[in-house]
Amino acid sequence: MNTVDYIPENTQDLIRRAEQVLGEVPVLDLTNPQFPIYTPAGGQIRSLGSSCHSIKIKNVINVIDTSIVVCTDATTGTCGAIPGTCGDLGATTPDKYYNFVATVNALVAQTGVQITFKYVQNGLPTTQVVTTNLSAGSNTVYAFATNQTYTPGTELALYGAEATSY
């Protein structure tokens, strides 16, 4: 029986050895994890196996406040300062425009995020779903594409907004 001396190698040693063989800084291809392949950095890298395609890194999204804002006209974004709390607006007046607004913090930029506003209008629970693209950091999201008017005496109470799909 032949005996062989086993010499352990750390990752850096393996990369250096691959670099010597390939002639440049190697890239590790783990298409088949049992048989990893080093390929040159300038070479064509194969995609990961199909079993890895379902890996998804979820964004971290926090809706930190939701409010009803009074606006000057129908254009979204021409509204007053965001109140500190959501509260109950009470009866509306027909000569003002209203919208719901949420401040949304996102860890990374992401497209197609759904924010669902939940409110009560004249005693009936209602929702408004907005699909928006978020940039990394703080985002202001309005419930309606244009500010709304309501008939006299309409009662609105906004009680929340949440990221429902991302």
List pLDDT tens digits, range 57-71.
Answer: 456 788 888 888 989
Q: What is the largest CA-CA distance in the chain?
A: 97
What single letter denotes the amino acid at residue 134? L
Residue 18 parent element (H or E): helix 11-22
Residue 149 parent element (H or E): none
List pLDDT tens digits, range 5-31.
Answer: 545 555 566 556 655 555 555 556 556
Q: Strand runs (DSSP E) across 8-95, as ranges?
A: 26-29, 37-40, 61-71, 88-91
What single letter denotes the amino acid at residue 46? R
pLDDT at 35: 61
pLDDT at 10: 59
pLDDT at 130: 95
Spatial separation of the C-alpha atoms in residues 114 and 21, rounded to whole Å: 50
pLDDT at 27: 59
Please give the average pLDDT of every successive group of 10 residues along the chain, which has 166 residues: 53 60 56 58 41 45 85 87 75 89 87 90 92 92 94 88 81
pLDDT at 21: 54
User: Does the predicted model carry a pTM greater than 0.75?
Assistant: no
Would you say 165 and 109 are in contact if contact means Cβ atoms under 8 Å apart? no
